[in-house]
Amino acid sequence: MTAKIGNKNVAQHRGKKERQEIRKTNIAREAVRQAEARAKYRNLAKGQAQRQAAAAPAA
């Protein structure tokens, strides 16, 4: 009987350093996405996002 693999890192032979690099890139990627979303809605008043989205296709 073969040994049961209970960890994706074990199954894919990921080392500690590689996992840290993946984590850092994921955090950086998410920070970029959040910054883009914040910039998109930064100067809008509450409730303006829906009206702007509705007006954009017509314009």
User: Distances from the Cα of 8 to the Cαs of 2, 16, 30, in angstroms?
Assistant: 16, 13, 22
Residues 6+ apart with CB under 8 A from 52: 44
- Greater pLDDT, 33 or 10: 33
The pLDDT score that the predictor gives to residue 3 is 77
pTM for the model: 0.58
CA atoms within 13 A on the CB side of 2: 3
Length of the chain: 59
Q: Domain ranges in the chain?
A: 8-58
Summarised one tens digit per residue, pLDDT across range 31-45 is 999 999 988 888 777
The pLDDT score that the predictor gives to residue 53 is 65
